[in-house]
Amino acid sequence: MIDITQFPESDANWSEDHWKQFIDFLVESGLATYGQICSAALGQLNPPQVGTGTTNIVKHNYPHRKVWQNVKAWFYERTGKCEDCGTRLDLQTDHVIPREEIGTEADKLENFTLRCRRCNVIRRPSHKQGGVLHLTTAAALMWILLTRQPQTYQEFKRMCRAYGMTMADIRFQEAWALAIWLNREGKYEIE
Q: Is 45 in the site for Zn ion (CB under 5 A)?
A: no
Q: How far is the CB of 87 from Zn ion (least distance, A)?
A: 5
Our CB check for Zn ion shows the closer of 71 and 116 to be: 116
d(CA 176, CA 191): 13
Tell me how far, at minimum, the Cβ of 81 lies from Zn ion, in Å.
8
Q: Count the residues of the shown chain that bind Zn ion, applying the rule CB under 5 A.
A: 5
Which segments of the chain does DSSP mark as H helices, in order? 16-28, 34-45, 53-58, 67-77, 99-102, 117-123, 137-148, 153-163, 170-184
What residues between 162 and 181 interact with Zn ion by CB under 5 A? none
Question: Does the protein bind Zn ion through residue 91 (CB under 5 A)?
Answer: no
Distance CA 128, CA 159 (A): 20
In angstroms, give the least distance from the CB of 119 to Zn ion.
Answer: 3
**Shorter beta-carbon distance to Zn ion: residue 18 or 84:** 84
CA gap 167, 147 in Å, rounded: 21
38 vs 85, beta carbon nearer Zn ion: 85
By CB under 5 A, tell whether 84 contacts Zn ion: yes
Q: Which of the residues 105 through 124 are near Zn ion (CB under 5 A)?
A: 116, 119
Count of CA atoms in the C-beta half-sphere (13 A) of 36: 8
Which of 4, 57, 58, 82 binds Zn ion (CB under 5 A)? It is: 82
Query: How many whole angstroms separate alpha carbon 139 and alpha carbon 149?
Result: 15
Cβ pair 167, 157 in contact under 8 A: no
Binding site for Zn ion (CB under 5 A): 82, 84-85, 116, 119
